[in-house]
Structure 1
Amino acid sequence: MAKYIPFILFTVFTNAAAQIMLKYGMMQLGPLSFAGVNPIVKILQIVFSPFVFLGLCTFVISMASHLFVLSKVELSYAYPFLSLAYVVVAVVAYFAFREDLNAARIAGIALICLGTIFIAQGGSRVHGEDRVATLSSNTAEEVSR
C-alpha cells in the first residue's frame, strides 16, 4: 500500500496544478461576460485559451492517475488524500495570487493535514493482494499433495 503513495501524491499535485493553471488562465481572460456574444463561441474561447486548456489537460492526467490508484487501493483510503490538493492550492494562491491565508484557513489546512495523516496510518488493502495470497496458498497446497 505504501508503494502507491507516490501515485496518490502525483494525483494530488497534478490536481492542484490544474486548479492553479485554471485560475491563472481565467485571470488572463478577465471577468466573464456573455452579453452580445454567442455562448458557444465564448465557451470555446475560454476552453482554448492557453492556461485554461493546459489546466484541463492536467486534470485529465490527474484523473488518469487517480483511476490507476483506485484500481490498486480502497476508495476510502485514496480519496481523502485529494484534500491535500486544497492545502497546496491555498499555499500557492497565497504566494502567487496574493490570496488571503487567514487564521481560519490555516487552522482548516492543519486539520486537513492531520486527518490525512490519520487516514494514511489506518492503511488500506491493496486490490488483488487477497487474490494473490489465495492463489499462492492454493498452489502451495497442490505442491504439497
Structure 2
Amino acid sequence: MNPVSLVCILLGVALNACAQLLLKAGTNAVGHFDFTRANILPIGFKLATQWPVIGGLACYVISVVVWILGLSRVDVSIAYPMLSLGYVVNAFAAWYLFGEVLSLQRLIGIGIILLGVVVLARS
C-alpha cells in the first residue's frame, strides 16, 4: 500500500471514529430517553440540534468521500478490515473523554485487533 492510499484509509478511519465520538457526546448531552412514539419528534429535534451530532454527521459525510478515494486505490479485502482500527481509537478515546472502563479483557481484544491489522497490512 502506497503512502497516499494509507493516508486515505487512515483518514477515513479517523473521521469515522470522530463521528462516533461526536454522536456519543451529543446523546450524552440529551441524556437517556425512552424510544417511544411520543418521543420521536421531541427527542429527534433535540438530537438534531445538538452541535456534536451535527458535527458527527458531517464527519460521516466527509469520511465516506475519503473512504471512496481509499477504495479506489486499495483492495476492499485490505481496506475494510482496517476499519477495525476505529474500534481501537474509540475505545481509548471513550476511556479518556467519557470515563468508560478499559478492562483487561477489552485491552486483550484491542491487542488482537491490532495484531490482525498488522498481519493484514503486511499481506
Q: What TM-score do the two structures reach when normalised by structure 1?
A: 0.78
**1:16–1:36 Cα change, 3 Å:** closer
Structure 2 unaligned residues grouped into runs of 5+: none
Give the count of matched residue pairs: 122
What is the rounded CA distance, in whole Å, between the counterparts of 2:2 and 2:40 in structure 1?
A: 47
The residue that corresponds to 1:115 in the other structure is 116
**1:119–1:34 Cα change, 3 Å:** closer
Structure 1 runs of 4+ aligned residues shifted over 4 Å read none
What is the rounded CA distance, in whole Å, between the counterparts of 1:108 and 1:48 in structure 2?
A: 35
Amino acid at match of 2:102: L
Structure exhibiting the larger radius of gyration computed from Cα positions: 1
The residue that corresponds to 1:46 in the other structure is 47
The residue that corresponds to 2:2 in the other structure is 2
Which of 41-50 and 8-17 deviates more? 41-50
> 1:70 offset after TM fit, Å?
1.0
Identity %: 37
Matches within 5 A, 1:27-66: 27-33=28-34, 37=38, 39-66=40-67
What is the rounded CA distance, in whole Å, between the counterparts of 2:63 and 2:47 in structure 1?
A: 21
Matched, 1:82 2:83: yes
